[in-house]
């Protein structure tokens, strides 16, 4: 995703001199070429994320379209007041680019994990929240942000994420992408959990559960129509996210279902517990530990169906 982001941003900067990249003294393997090509559209503020955010907001208010780039926990939690007051309150064209969402920096421990960021950013007034599912979605989201769409949070993986989509991508802000058809249940994934959702759906097919897959690349604004349509047509919703079970995709979908009065829906959130990890290992290891791998997802969905028929009010 990082490569798709910087390649797309490079094209955008060449076409529009307002497009500017601000970094917090990291990512040199990714941003070096951009800095060399566009020295007047690049700024390294040093290890000072609060300053980075305020500088980005000031540049945006002066007419630039700014991307502020850092490891996911730093441009969110460390400088939340600046995000709230300088970016959101001013409606500035700043995209906060968070690389390594979830437990991508697994072995560095909880201080470098970004597991509450989606919930925090969803709560910020006026903030778009985007978590692409693969490199093609990343490129599309970057193009949209480079056009100037106001305060935006762009959550990326760390590296080597597989491409899920093929051909032309029907991407637009706030509209989920139906990746796979299915009549028995819907897996709604955000961010790097999309490949897991597709692989799990393929295994579930073999056991007689035809799974629809939605890529919910935008958490805010959420595609509530896609959620409600999936609930009515498949009757079972399972959300997948590499994020705390509180306040992220699962919470947003649950809010949508409850407020629509859809009581007769099987619903399951699959995500990380609301706890600091005490495990040490890479992202793949931590996903297995917390049940975010394909086999665990298939097992959880199978157990959901084994609980018997759905109870509650009929779906209107």
| Whether the model pTM is above 0.75 | yes
For the chain, how many structural domains are there in total?
2
Domain with 67, as residue range(s), is 2-156
Residue 312 pLDDT greater than 70, yes or no? no
Can you say whether the dihedral through the CA atoms of 122, 138, 239, 299 is positive or negative?
negative
Structure-token match 């819907």, residue found: 186
- What's the pLDDT score for residue 131? 98
- Give the confidence band of 310 by pLDDT, cuts at 50, 70, 90: low
Return the C-alpha torsion angle 163, 71, 78, 140, nearest 10.
-30
Question: Does 168 map to a domain?
Answer: no
Q: Which range (184-188, 237-241, 280-284) has the least confidence? A: 280-284
- What's the pLDDT score for residue 65? 98
Question: Does 162 map to a domain?
Answer: no
- What's the pLDDT score for residue 160? 84
- Give the confidence band of 313 by pLDDT, cuts at 50, 70, 90: very low
* 220 touches 129 (CB < 8 A): yes
- Regarding whether 6 and 146 lie in a shared domain, the answer is yes
- What's the pLDDT score for residue 246? 97
- Regarding whether 183 and 275 lie in a shared domain, the answer is yes
Strands 42-44, 19-23: parallel, antiparallel or unpaired by DSSP?
parallel
Average pLDDT over residues 203-227: 97
What is the CATH number for 230?
3.40.50.920
- Regarding whether 296 and 198 lie in a shared domain, the answer is yes
What is the CATH number for 21?
3.40.50.970
**Cα distance between the two ends of the chain:** 40
Question: Does 6 map to a domain?
Answer: yes
Average pLDDT over residues 236-241: 98
Average pLDDT over residues 149-159: 94
Choice between 308 and 105, residue whose per-residue pLDDT is larger: 105
CA separation for the pair 272, 290 (Å, rounded): 6
Neighbours of 278 (CB within 10 A): 7
CA separation for the pair 189, 107 (Å, rounded): 24
Residue at which a domain ends, from 156, 191, 218: 156
């Amino acid at each position: 995703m990082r490569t798709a982001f910087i390649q797309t941003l490079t094209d955008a900067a060449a076409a529009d001199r307002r497009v500017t990249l601000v970094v917090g003294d990291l990512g040199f393997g990714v941003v070096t070429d951009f800095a060399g090509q566009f020295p007047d559209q690049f700024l390294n503020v040093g290890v000072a994320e609060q300053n980075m955010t305020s500088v980005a907001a000031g540049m945006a208010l002066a007419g630039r379209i700014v991307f502020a780039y850092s490891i996911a926990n730093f441009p969110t939690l460390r400088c939340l007041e600046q995000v709230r007051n300088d970016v959101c309150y001013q409606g500035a064209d700043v995209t906060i680019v968070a690389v390594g969402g979830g437990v991508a920096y697994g072995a560095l421990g909880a201080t470098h994990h970004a597991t509450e960021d989606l919930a925090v950013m969803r709560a910020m007034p006026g903030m778009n929240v985007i978590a692409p599912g693969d490199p093609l979605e990343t490129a599309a989201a970057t193009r949209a942000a480079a056009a100037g769409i106001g305060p935006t949070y762009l959550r990326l993986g760390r590296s080597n994420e597989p491409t899920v989509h093929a051909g032309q991508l029907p991407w637009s802000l706030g509209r989920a992408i139906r990746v796979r058809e299915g009549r028995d249940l819907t897996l709604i994934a955000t961010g790097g959990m999309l490949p897991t959702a597709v692989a799990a759906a393929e295994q579930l097919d073999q056991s007689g559960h035809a799974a629809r897959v939605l890529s919910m690349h935008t958490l805010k604004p959420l595609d509530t129509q896609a959620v409600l349509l999936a609930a009515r047509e498949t009757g079972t919703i399972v959300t997948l996210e590499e994020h705390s079970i509180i306040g992220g995709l699962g919470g947003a979908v649950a809010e949508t279902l409850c407020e629509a009065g859809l009581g007769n829906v099987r619903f399951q959130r699959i995500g990380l517990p609301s706890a600091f990890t005490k495990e040490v290992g890479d992202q793949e290891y931590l996903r297995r530990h917390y049940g975010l791998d394909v086999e665990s997802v298939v097992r959880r969905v199978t157990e959901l169906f084994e609980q018997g028929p759905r109870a509650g009010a009929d779906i209107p």
